[in-house]
Amino acid sequence: MGVPALFRWLSKKYPKIPYNYRLSQPSLTWPPPLSLPGTKQPVDTSGPNPNGEEFDNLYLDMNGIVHPCTHPEGKPAPKTEEAMMHEVFLYTDRVVSMVRPRKLLVMAIDGVAPRAKMNQQRSRRFRSAEEARVKEEERIKAIEEWEAMGKEVSDEFRNEKGWDSNAITPGTPFMDLLAKSLRYWVAKKLNEDPGWAGLEVIISDASVPGEGEHKIMDYIRRQRSHPSHDPNTKHVIYGLDADLIMLSLATHEPHFRVLREDVFAQDKKGRGCHTCGQMGHHSSQCTDQPDFSGAPPVAQPSAPKPFIFLDVSILREYLSIEL
């Protein structure tokens, strides 16, 4: 469960804790054999980190990856669950390529939540199902209106079924498919990607009780009590919930960073037209006519969102001075 606007408020109150992350661009030199001219090849993550700092452990709250991949903003949602798995792989590989952990990678999927959180989840899922029902009724009504106007409606649009986001719940076939797909993809990366060589990967799927971020923090606390624990281990955790900041402070680790999408990127970027999606004019000035053919709108592919780091050690120093 997140804390609304906490990350934005902390970043504005303590401007030294967030900093942008420099990402390497796809290269044309790796792998050298069988590379076609003009095609982008993956970044060789076995090289040094472009930010000049190496990290040991990376922890992924996978629900913060699954949700944006199954129903993204600014582009059409994947049609099939297989396409959703492919989007999850691409997103996860991008995060791992940015951080480049050298020792450990932990992927934690939300399992069965505690009773208190379960009540909130139930009300949220009922609301989501009701909104999906209303949306489907509006779509059927729009099809009937288009046919009454003499417009042609394609069979694909008429028979289109929306994907239920309530499938992202422990115990569903989708979560079982996600766990199996992640295991297959991780085995493939360990065998083929040189950046994953020597990396220990732990997958905690939905069959393990507890929320993903709490399972990660429990693992970190257990490692601190181990005799071979290195106190100078550098940790990075990725997730969209702002309560990760609170949990990171509670670990008392001296080198801890929170990685997430830049919430200020939308503030710097102007809002475009609601009709065509282009920049530079408002919807009242748009010359494009709405499409009543029944075909779904074609969205322009959006650029990947930039990422930002939050340094927990600097935040801890700010709080020690103020408190």
Asked if residue 107 has pLDDT above 90, the reply is yes
| Cβ atoms of residues 205 and 109 within 8 Å | yes
Predicted confidence at residue 295, as pLDDT, reads 47
28 falls in which pLDDT band (50, 70, 90)?
A: very low
Asked if residue 235 has pLDDT above 80, the reply is yes
pLDDT mean over 94-112: 92
Topology of domain 50-113+173-272+285-322, CATH: Rossmann fold (3.40.50)
Predicted confidence at residue 257, as pLDDT, reads 92
Overall pTM surpassing 0.85 (yes/no)? no
| Cβ atoms of residues 70 and 78 within 8 Å | yes
Distance between CA atoms of residues 322 and 315, nearest Å: 11
Predicted confidence at residue 296, as pLDDT, reads 45
Lowest mean pLDDT among 20-24, 141-145, 161-165: 20-24
- Taking CB atoms within 8 Å and a gap of at least 24, the contacts of 124-131 are 125/166, 125/169, 128/165, 128/166, 129/164, 129/166
pLDDT greater at residue 291 or residue 256: 256
Asked if residue 155 has pLDDT above 90, the reply is no
> Among residues 58, 132, 146, which one has the least CA distance to residue 95?
58
